Amino acid sequence: MGNWKMNGSNSMVKNLIKELFNEGEDIQRASQKNLIDCVVCPPFVYLQQVAELLNQKKDSFLQLGAQNVYCESEGAYTGETSASMLQDVGCRYVIIGHSERRQIFGEENDLIARKFIKAYDTRLIPVLCVGETREERESGSTFDIVRQQLQAVMDLAPIQYFERAIIAYEPVWAIGTGLTATPEQAEEVHGYIRGLVTEYHDIASQVRILYGGSVKANNAADLFSKPNIDGGLIGGASLNSKEFLSICRAALVGV
């Protein structure tokens, strides 16, 4: 899943989608065999444009996601976007509680839980992001933080929602820093997350858990080889078609 964050322009969007289609025929075939789900999450203003580009392609392997959503259905919420609007323009996925939303825009666990539920109830697939800061890791509280972030959602949402929802572990210290968690560090937390979901429901083995934080073509295969890492949430590297497609290929190794 590519999170383009606040990057792009009309022409960049057009070129990137064109390149992904031109260079990604192998991923297209893999997607037709249901071996991979491949999603791009452009900024809101380009969602419609990307949706149209994807519709022009027969059986596009790229699916559409948004980077955020609001928890209410409609009304006086200036600047916000509802889940049904995202549905309306063709989104299937939405990222919820990204650490940049938590840190820069002050989103707290309760709001994130309400967004998660609204997205799910509107038939979007919520991608719930969790992860600790560097200070939290260094003080040994990684598991506590991840548990609190997940628990806030599990307290409000029926646990069955995780059959369709996706969890993304994104250690804040690894985002955009070039510092990737080692496959072992990531796997440890992914295993912990799966264990937490198992406490509530036996669906845990099916829950998809993505890793995000400086995933690149040259480290993706090692990360994805771990049993509890089911894919990636890719920032910077998703803006480059070759990098992004290489990461998708790494996800196909061994499937």
Member of 39, 212, 223, 250 binding ligand 13P (CB under 6 A): 212
Rounded Cα gap, residues 44 and 55, in angstroms: 17
Half-sphere exposure of 62 (CA within 13 A, CB side): 30
**In the range 128-187, which residues lie near ligand 13P by CB under 6 A?**
170, 175-176
**Considering the rule CB under 6 A, would residue 233 count as an interface residue with ligand 13P?**
yes
Rounded Cα gap, residues 215 and 232, in angstroms: 7
Nearest approach, Cβ of residue 234 and ligand 13P (Å): 5
Based on the residue annotation, tell me whether 243 is a catalytic residue of this protein: no
Which lies closer to ligand 13P via its Cβ, residue 96 or residue 152?
96
**Considering the rule CB under 6 A, would residue 214 count as an interface residue with ligand 13P?**
yes
At 2, which helix (H) or strand (E)? strand 2-3
Rounded Cα gap, residues 61 and 102, in angstroms: 31
Member of 125, 235, 244, 251 binding ligand 13P (CB under 6 A): 235
Rounded Cα gap, residues 123 and 213, in angstroms: 27
**Considering the rule CB under 6 A, would residue 97 count as an interface residue with ligand 13P?**
no
Based on the residue annotation, tell me whether 201 is a catalytic residue of this protein: no
Half-sphere exposure of 170 (CA within 13 A, CB side): 30
Which lies closer to ligand 13P via its Cβ, residue 37 or residue 170?
170
Which lies closer to ligand 13P via its Cβ, residue 28 or residue 95?
95
Stretch that binds ligand 13P, among 44-52, 142-150, 192-200, 209-217 (CB under 6 A): 209-217
Rounded Cα gap, residues 232 and 38, in angstroms: 10
**Marked catalytic residue, from 100, 107, 132, 170:** 170
Nearest approach, Cβ of residue 46 and ligand 13P (Å): 17
Q: Provide the H-helix boundaries in 57-108.
A: 83-88, 99-104
Closest CA to 234 of 226, 225, 224: 224
The one-letter amino acid at 239: L
Catalytic residues: 98, 170
Contacts with ligand 13P by CB under 6 A lie at: 3, 98, 170, 175-176, 212-215, 233-237
